[in-house]
Structure 1
Amino acid sequence: MRDQLERALATASEFLEGREVFGLRSVGGGSVGSTWRLTLNDGEELFVKVAHTANLLAEQSGLQALRHWADPALIEVPQVLGCVPLSGKSALVMAWWDLNSGDQFSLGRGLARLHRASSAGGPGRFGWDHDGFIGLGPQPSGWCDSWGDAFTQLRLQPQLCLASEWGLAEQDWECLLRPIAAWLNGHAPEPCLVHGDLWAGNAAVLADGRGLLIDPASWWADREVDLAMTRLFGGFSRRFMEGYSSEWPLPDGAEHRIEVLNLYHLLNHANLFGGGYQQQSRKILKDLRRALL
């Protein structure tokens, strides 16, 4: 892979601009693809992600949308410099950023400002134009005028249908979709552009103190989906929420909606990885049956 990638990058005129590839080394890999640190002969370093083309095109679309609405004084969203074809895959080329383990206040402020700006100038409905991915899981396109319908039809139901492969029967969840939709519609959120996969591995603090967002699964949704996911796997500090709340506090009742919003991510993990995520998903569905039926 390294030799093939280096040859492909060496002929990528869209970001080389007359420069040459000086070095390339692996910096990790995961379920979606591999990542690399590219050094050019003038000393500039770039970040390269290799994955299936469809995954990278969806990621590029999300990055471009987030970058459009982000305030660069508070938060950085990488600009895509090039997308280089490989055999059966592609390589997405972006700037290299030096990370810090510092204060997450600007990260929280920047996310809130992104949410607020996009809510004021967005499409006024919930959904996304193109099919995408949440990790390796499918994230279907489509549009809905109401938040509850968008979340149940475009996010929960596709994952629940996939869960039949590990034994989750339709009768365990079909009766819940309408009550969940009605309950979520009750607080009438504004459509915002969300990151969509906001766990700690997809957000960071830069050396200059600004926040960084990467690897989105973006769509137009209730902003609470991003904040709920920050509570799912940890890694976000009290300062992050202080920063967010200083720009746009969450409405009353947000705490009560966290579990159902995170059910989407737990189901996706259950469908991809199995294990304890399946038990967690079953428990939340049981809790929802008790609360809503």
Structure 2
Amino acid sequence: MELFIRETLEKVNDTSTVRSIKPISGGDINQSFYVETDRRPYFIKFNENVASHFFQAEAEGLRLIKETGAIRVPDVYHYDCPDGDEKASLVMEWIEKGSLNASHSLGKSLAHMHHHTSEKYGYGKPTFVGELDQTNEWCTAWTEYYRRYRLGGQLEIGMAEGTISGLREERLKRLMDRIEEFIPRKPKASLLHGDLWGGNWMSTRDGEPVLIDPSVLYGDHAFELALTELFGGFPSNFFDQYNTYFQLPDDYQDTKPIYQLFYLLAHLNMFGEMYGSQVDRILKNYVG
């Protein structure tokens, strides 16, 4: 691995002395390392046997978020688009974590990011949810995109994997057919991080919030907020600040479970039946 790290550093024209290489725990998908050279510290991720756009999707998502100027993300120095079974790398800025609570600032910054919009919904390139392929196209209605590419994509995976069948499959299809009854057809098409759970943000030593590991799309900002409430990691002052700068709709509590359903379906398809009861409960509540 050390040899490969040195070869990767050459791609960013850093041939200085490598002072330290330390594996970083916490990621289930990639091998991650802190690498310090005489020039600077880096955060480097590796993977193999992945699609050619695996790291490209992440790098381009970080670029889009950075261009808003609303919130900090790591700078990207290099990414590979591997062919076949080549090992891929993503080389980024190392940001030292701090202990200061940045959730207050995160709410404000995320709201400002969500004010950056598109005329259409979705995203014109494929991305990933974890290791699952996420097909995206541009749609003129949010309901069309959410039905076809979010719920429909997970339905297709679940039917192939055997995690979605029988009554669960019937209910999900009924919900998809009736989706315009439950979520807005044309909300503001905000730039969304797309995978904003508690592990995908951090704070610097100065208490500045930083977003990492995006899976970007343009859609209803309530979709993003629904995920922040699903697995925890976001205290009340985050939501208070967010609402100060971008008010959630009055029916947010009604739409929230349908937006959380997408992420629960993805977890069902990735990790199995431990998420099945939550999926079934939401489907039953909406379509009987």
1:174 and 2:190 correspond: no
Aligned to 2:190, which of 164, 189, 192? 192
Q: Distance in 1 between matches of 2:16 and 2:158?
A: 49
Q: Determine the structure 1 residue equivalent to 2:79.
A: 83
Aligned-partner SS, 1:263: helix
Aligned-partner SS, 2:28: coil
1:5 and 2:1 correspond: no
1:150 and 2:145 correspond: yes
Aligned to 1:28, which of 17, 21, 25? 25
| Amino acid aligned to 2:76 | V
TM-score normalised to structure 2 length: 0.90
Q: Find runs of 4+ consecutive structure 1 residues off by over 6 angstroms.
A: none
Q: Determine the structure 1 residue equivalent to 2:90.
A: 92
Q: Does the 8 Å contact 2:102/2:209 carry over to 1?
A: no
Q: Does the 8 Å contact 1:26/1:36 carry over to 2?
A: yes
Shift of 1:166: 2.1
The number of residue pairs the alignment matches comes to 278
Q: Distance in 1 between matches of 2:164 and 2:24?
A: 37
Q: Determine the structure 2 residue equivalent to 1:57.
A: 56
Correspondence list, 1:90-239, <5 A: 90-101=88-99, 102-116=101-115, 118-119=116-117, 122=118, 124-164=119-159, 165-169=162-166, 170-185=169-184, 188-239=186-237
Q: Does the 8 Å contact 1:103/1:239 carry over to 2?
A: no
Structure 2: gaps of 5 or more residues: none
Structure 1: gaps of 5 or more residues: none
C-alpha spacing 1:37/1:204, structure 2 compared with 1 (3 Å): same
Correspondence list, 1:239-254, <5 A: 239-254=237-252
Aligned to 2:36, which of 35, 39, 43? 39
Q: Distance in 1 between matches of 2:55 and 2:13?
A: 17
Aligned-partner SS, 1:5: helix
Q: Deviations over 1:126-184 (max 9, x none)?
A: 01111110111121111111111111111001101222212423423222212113431
Aligned-partner SS, 1:35: strand
C-alpha spacing 1:85/1:22, structure 2 compared with 1 (3 Å): farther
Aligned to 1:48, which of 35, 41, 44? 44
Q: Deviations over 1:63-100 (max 9, x none)?
A: 111111132xxx21112111257762211111111122
Q: Does the 8 Å contact 1:151/1:181 carry over to 2?
A: no
Shift of 1:21: 2.7
